[in-house]
Chains A and B, each alone.
Chain A
């Protein structure tokens, strides 16, 4: 019951969802559609589980009077406000609802700014790490510089061929290597999926009991 039943359920669900592509019978396809709805619902419950863990974490900080508990209040306030506005506000589906206004004016700016912050750190890390010591490192450096220059008007001002070279790098050597990596990743994903379905890979079950 503790280990065999989850493995059996995993096997049955995996085999069914893998094989249903080849059985176009209405009964199978209907059940597949229903199962897909169940899986998505499970995903939603799993996300809720993560949120419960987040609440527990911050609640413990507040209860134990941790030094940075003020920030836990902020996180919980943001969470409860969004849940309140999203679940209980009568006009939560409207684009102008307080729920969407909060999303557009709090979450979107902070996320965009955080990603833009990476520009500084990536440039700083590259400045320290990029050294043309070997042929491979030189290739990486040259390709990065050409692509960066080719994506801005300055590149064309320096030389009219730079944007063309950028396009060529992206469409030929970059594409060839990306395809190789993508095929490798695809084969790896398939192998891992099969290992999970057949019960060889059991890390998802967690502990040992």
Chain B
């Protein structure tokens, strides 16, 4: 039986690889087969995981002789609600009443939109910003702690210069000038740390600086409320550099994962099916 199914798997694998030559009936057969099989597989999984426990079992089984469903502590008829809402989705097959299908869709779309708000803010924004709020040197060192404080204020001042002051007060304003001075100080500090690269602390500091600068640059590149010129233009340019390296790394990573899958399939053919290699 194992040999039978291994042979089926091998034939299907070779059918898919035959596409490398050109589109052909073997590939189309395997392609249509996987469409049908995967649709059937997920349909069954969804049925047993959601439709059966939430609708079918409560309505058709537990209602006989029981007023309440012990598991959820609700009346059996409550289970009719998702069932009816689900069936309303199928109204789209009847053009005259197709608009009824929007009711369950509204609950579904709105429900998930609201459900995602807080987790998205937490996982994608706050956590990422928190992970990137890195010390520029070891915090056990009082000098380094002071430097971090100064640098934090500096970054805030630069951000103010970038996003608020320059637009509303004009380039000659004192606050704007202060922003430029602070920016120059930050650049000087980065240069100083670059010189201390020989020590381990210097490497850690430079890495952290690159992470912060890379993040600011990437965010600046996607900030379209102001023209990309001047300092913002420079930051956006830095962002492009980081983005390109990131895209290159992602590309390389993806290619290698696909190659790994390819090795796995060739291993399946030569080892599991033909027993040609150990």
Contacts and interface: CB of A to CB of B under 8 A. Distances in A.
Q: Do A and B come from one complex?
A: yes
B166 interface: no
Contacts of B51: 41, 44-45, 48
Interface string B60-79: 00000000000011100010
A105 B9 contact: yes
A184 B249 contact: no
A158 interface: no
B243 interface: yes
B183 to A, nearest CB: 19
A110 B16 contact: yes
B35 A197 contact: no
B interface: dominant SS: helix
Contacts of B248: 139-144, 147
Contacts of A71: 28-29, 31-32
A153 to B, nearest CB: 12
Given A39-B111, A117-B16, A147 B249 contact: yes
A interface: dominant SS: helix
A33 B115 CA distance: 12
A152 interface: yes
Interface of A: 1-3, 5-19, 21, 30, 33-52, 54, 68, 71-72, 74-83, 86-87, 92-93, 99, 101-120, 122-123, 126, 135-137, 139-148, 151-152, 169-170, 172-187, 189-190, 192-194, 196-197, 204-206, 209
Interface of B: 5-6, 8-10, 12-13, 16-17, 19-20, 28-51, 54-55, 72-74, 78, 81-83, 85-87, 89-90, 92-93, 99, 102-118, 120-121, 123-125, 128-129, 131-132, 207, 210-215, 217-219, 221-222, 239-256, 258-259, 261-262, 264-265, 268
